[in-house]
Amino acid sequence: MKPLVFLAGGGTVLIGAALYISSAVGQETDRTVLRDTDGATIVLGADVYEANCATCHGADLEGQANWRSPGEDGRLPAPPHDETGHTWHHDGDTLFRLTKYGTGALIGNPDYASNMPIYEGVLSDEEIIAVLSYIKSTWPEEIRARHDEMENRQ
């Protein structure tokens, strides 16, 4: 009788361990991974950026003037996405959620006023990742390396 109880208990532990590992792996693979070295992704991202982002963030990712100071409407102008801005200070998950769901959702304040459109239902997840990958591909190698280090600590 004791060996049967031992096997049943051991089986329960193994199943629990397998579920834990699979959930940890699932969480790891759910992380947004930017593909800034993939040529096809970068080309798609450049096209989507030009069609949806360049009007505000600039054709050369330069952003709007005085982007750190609220405009007359109380809203912040579009920041640059080049190395002079703060985009590279945020991990891929944060950038993805900001783009897809908007700043208000990201900070937990649905009343937050922003000129940044919410792209959920407008761009696919793949297009959002492509845009972010394109943006990252334009940063100097040192900035990209720093961003990679940050991503690897996540």
Show the 3-state SS of 112-148.
CCCCCCCCECCECHHHHHHHHHHHHHCCCHHHHHHHH
Claim to verify: residue 20 and residue 47 sit in the same structural domain: no
pLDDT tens readout for residues 103-136:
999 999 999 999 999 999 999 999 999 999 999 9
What's the whole-model pTM score? Answer: 0.79
The reply to whether 48 and 76 lie within a common domain is yes
The answer on 73 and 21 residing in a single domain is no
pLDDT of residue 118: 96
The CA distance from 69 to 90, in Å, is 20
Indicate if 73 and 143 belong to the same structural domain. yes
12 in the same domain as 80: no
Q: Say yes or no to pLDDT of 48 above 90.
A: yes
Percentage of the chain lying above the pLDDT 90 cut: 75
Is residue 36 within 8 Å of residue 42, measured between CB atoms? yes
In this structure, are 52 and 21 located in the same domain?
Answer: no
> Are 64 and 15 part of one and the same domain?
no
Range of the domain at 26: 1-30
- What average pLDDT does the structure give for the chain? 85
Domain identity same for 17 and 81: no
